[in-house]
Amino acid sequence: MLLNLVEMLEFENYTALGARSGQEGLALVEADPPDLILCDVMLPDIDGFEVVQTLRADPSHARIPVIFVSARARSVSGDRVPQAGVISYVMKPFDVQDLLNTIRGVLDSDHQDVGHNA
């Protein structure tokens, strides 16, 4: 799924990199901070919430908008997502157009609330 997502984003003229774990993703962010992060909640090493917590603790990465992607509604329910500083989430399986609309909406906004509790 990761490769398909990267290919789909590149087809839409986004520059996209994929990471297979939270630690690998954080290393990519450190090397070249992106404009936006799509992050699965369930990762093999640290979960998406830990990834976002690490990002928000670093002032140079704290304002990068994060969209969670999750197959489990329970993991993104309630106040946990906004409290973590995640700007939006998309449930798997997702409609590609819905995902692209979410990405465009986040990139077109000013992200003032990113990294802050709502």
Of 31, 42, 46, 37, nearest in space to 115 by CA: 37
List, in order, residues 6 or more apart from 4 with CB less than 8 Å away: none
Residue 69's pLDDT band, with cuts at 50, 70 and 90, is: confident
Which pTM was predicted?
Answer: 0.83
**83 close to 115: Cβ distance less than 8 angstroms:** no
Give 118's pLDDT tier (boundaries 50, 70, 90). Answer: very low
Class of domain 2-106: alpha beta
Q: Is the pLDDT of residue 65 over 80?
A: yes
Which residue type is seen at 35?
D
